[in-house]
Amino acid sequence: MFDVRETSIPGCYQIFPRVFEDARGRFIKVFHEQAFEERGLETHFAEEYYSVSRRGVIRGMHFQVPPMDHVKMVYCTQGSVFDAVVDLRRGSPTYGQAATFSLSAEVGNYLYIPKGLAHGFCATSDEATLVYKVSTVYAPEQDAGILWSSLGIDWPSESPIMSERDQGFSALNEFESPFWYE
């Protein structure tokens, strides 16, 4: 049902679902409770939302701190994105390291992001719609981020379009992480 591939960051997976295509179009199943349970993945998602971004928009690097930290699944339903995660879990063998991926509606692949990772992306198509499933509800008091340019990521946009909030986050080397690797 799913091709679940480990990434360089423990607990973060890139998932490739089966894509059914015929004369009508495409059909993709992104979640199946039993299949996720069998792999030890989160099966309870409290919210789902999406963003629509123009080419060159960077959103991130976002996360929620405990007690509202969450598992996140992200996938494109339109266009494509350059997606990035960074490990913020103290004691992790990949603490402070980033991993990047190309997600697209055409391929149908997505990311499963464990608690303790920051997430962000850059739209690489004229317009990209990214869907987010999260295991806890949005909590403004626990909402946080890391400065996108402090992570050593080679972003595909030299002059990104960004929110003031995302431009104002602290750099990774100034961040005191509340996350622990288990």
Angle in degrees, CA 98, 103, 106, rounded to 5: 170
Rg of the Cα trace of the chain? 16
Specify whether the backbone of 57 is left (phi greater than 0), alpha (psi in -120 to 50) or beta. beta
Catalytic residue among 32, 119, 132, 181: 132
- Which among 62, 70, 75, 112 is annotated as catalytic? 62
Are the C-beta atoms of residues 14 and 109 closer than 8 Å to each other?
Answer: yes
Strand partners, 64: 143
Q: Is 70 a catalytic residue?
A: no
Active site residue 132: yes
H helix and E strand count, the chain? 2, 13
Structure tokens given for 108: 């149908």
For the annotated catalytic residues, the residue numbers are 62, 132
